[in-house]
Structure 1
Amino acid sequence: MASKTSTWNTKADLVPLEKDKAKELRARISKIKQAEVLRPGAVFVGHIPHGFFEPQVKRFFSQFGTVSRVRLARSKKTGGPKGYGYIEFECEEVAKVVAETMNNYLMFEKLLKCEFIPTERLHPKTFRGSNRKFLKPTRRSTAIRKHNKPKDAAATLQSAMRLVSKNLGRKRKYAALGLNYDFSGYDDMAKKAKLQAASIV
């Protein structure tokens, strides 16, 4: 068995299966008759070792048949993998054999959990974005997404009251300097937010 490492290179040697497991798997797959029109099949894979990303997963499972798509679950905030994902094989029968044979397979101190997912149970967006290279979200993109996220009535009211409070502090500061500062825009915003929150309650 290959030694454990923190990351894998797509050009590195293929992670080998144990001899007995490889023999069993290839024997079963060789019995599958390839139909003229192949029906794809998906496999859920859990407990994926850290550092085993999309290219490595596709390369590893391509030992058993043609892998059409791979999508690993990742954190929207950090981009880090969550340790599970989905693999689509070109042939449904191959997917079934892989799921059954590779379930509870020990890989880098992790027991893989594999389950065949019937097409009718597969969410239409399961493989959305699987053909695009994953780009880790930057702090700027995360901040923009958070800022543009639609706010509910309570959040809108809280934001408006915060602006009103800052505006009052600004008025006091200018008054101490003998300057006349009068801006009621935030007050109007707070009133609208209060009415909106009250209508929901």
Structure 2
Amino acid sequence: MPHGFCEKELRAYFSQFGKVLNVKVSRSTKNGHAKGYAFVKFKYAAVAKTVAETCHNYLFFNKLLKCQYRPLEEVHPRTFVSYPWKPDLKRKRQHNNGKSEGKLRTSLKVYTKKQEGKLKKLKEIGLDIKLSDILDVPKSRESPSKTPQTKTKTPQKKENNSASKTKETTKKVVKRKQTLSTKK
């Protein structure tokens, strides 16, 4: 079925052959797009047979129409029952909830295995990097201790913007030099 050739267009096109009772375009449950096939129900079986014969392998918007006659006994009784399409609520909730503890652990294990494989290849080349340098994983996701900890802010002096920027860049350069020296 060509793109954009949906229920309304199917009904209009096939009504030239005879009375169309119902049209059903099969759609994806995830996004509602047409799957590429449809069912058309005619009032008379003879009309349906002639349509299947005449329209089979008909070139239609650079696509070949494949038409088959199916008697009502072969078609599922709820084929032409259609509901307004809405995104699956269960799938929405599952997506919005995120991953559980177990899934996070397994995905972390898979990630660390992949990183270890990459680190082995880097070691063969001559770079010695540890996994702990790359990963910053907390040991557990347990809740903080029951005793409340209060944080107090100490007043800081306001510095000149340009002076603080130069301090930050020099810190970065020093850190880079340190990491490069440890890698060698």
TM-score range, shorter chain: 0.5 to 0.7
1:93-132 correspondence runs (5 A): 93-129=46-82
* Structure 2 partner of 1:59: 12
Q: Which structure 1 residue ranges, 4+ long, deviate > 2 Å from structure 2?
A: 158-164
Q: Which runs of 5+ in 2 are unaligned?
A: 106-139, 149-184
Which residue, out of 145, 149, 171, partners 2:90? 145
1:78-97 correspondence runs (5 A): 78-97=31-50
Write the letter of the residue equivalent to 1:94. Answer: V
1:112: Cα distance to partner? 0.2
**RMSD (Å) for aligned C-alpha atoms:** 2.9
1:1-201 correspondence runs (5 A): 48-129=1-82, 134-135=84-85, 137=86, 141-142=87-88, 144-146=89-91, 159=100, 161=102, 169-171=141-143, 174-175=144-145, 178-179=147-148
Question: Which structure would you say has the larger Rg?
Answer: 2
1:125: Cα distance to partner? 1.6
3-state DSSP class of the match of 2:38?
strand
Share of identical aligned residues, percent?
A: 40
Q: Number of aligned residue pairs: give it.
A: 112
1:117: Cα distance to partner? 0.5
1:79: Cα distance to partner? 0.4
| Distance in structure 2 (CA, Å) of the matches to 1:124 and 1:60 | 24
What TM-score do the two structures reach when normalised by structure 2?
Answer: 0.53
| Distance in structure 1 (CA, Å) of the matches to 2:55 and 2:65 | 7
Bigger RCO of structures 1 and 2 (CA < 8 A, at least 6 apart): 1
**C-alpha deviations, 1:30-87, integer Å up to 9, x for none?**
xxxxxxxxxxxxxxxxxx1100110000000000000000000111101001110100
3-state DSSP class of the match of 2:69?
strand
| Distance in structure 1 (CA, Å) of the matches to 2:64 and 2:30 | 27
| Distance in structure 1 (CA, Å) of the matches to 2:92 and 2:15 | 41
- Cα distance 1:147–1:50, how it changes in 2: closer, same or farther (>3 A)? closer
What TM-score do the two structures reach when normalised by structure 1?
Answer: 0.49
